[in-house]
Homo-oligomer: A and B are copies of this chain.
Amino acid sequence: MNSGRLEAFSDGVLAIIITIMVLELKVPEGSSIEDLKPLVPKFFSYVLSFIYVGIYWNNHHHMFQATEKVNGRILWSNLSLLFTLSLIPFPTAWMGENHFETNPVALYGINLFCCAITYTILEKFCIQIQGKDSKLHLALRNKTKEILSPVFYTLGIISAFFYPLLGMVFYTIVAVIWLIPDTRIEKQLK
């Protein structure tokens, strides 16, 4: 089985997740600048989640560029990843609604953590089917980012109970780490 349709379906789901979050920016009744103020925290939580889903799409895209064969395990671990990602709009909207209070921020971190776990499982199955000498395996030997992310998520979740905004800082750091172009697979494919 080739990976074409798995990619198409994932693209569809990710495209919807990334776009429906904007529906939380509900149009205010008035037309003054004041009326936009309550939307500011919602806007920032939208930006962060957009970047996160973008990062996942980007990595997913790179990984399947180097994954040709697909089996039942990969299909289901991919669906698990899509499930955890599909939940992101919820804590995103909750944080925006409640101005980054403890519980929403902690839940957001837990959600991001779950996404990282499901992605790691998917990655393992992809490498497994490609073989130990595959380009994918060689490209992903260096695991610095994969190890740093859960550490920062944990720090973010803990911080949420003391200074929720510090939690957001930790989540933002992880996003920045991943935004730095990840050229591992690109290099290996050459």
Binding site for B on A (CB under 8 A): 1, 5-9, 11-20, 22-25, 27-33, 36, 47, 50, 54, 57-58, 61-62, 64-65, 71-73, 75-76, 79, 82-83, 86-87, 89-90, 93-94, 97-98, 101-104, 179, 181-183, 186, 189
Docked complex Cα distance between A19 and B181 (Å): 29
CB distance from A58 to the nearest CB of B (A): 6
CB distance from A122 to the nearest CB of B (A): 14
Partner of A76, one of B9, B31, B82, B179: B179
CB distance from A42 to the nearest CB of B (A): 10
In the complex the two chains form, is A86's CB within 8 Å of B31's CB? Answer: no
Residue of B nearest to A17 (CB): B19
Docked complex Cα distance between A187 and B54 (Å): 34
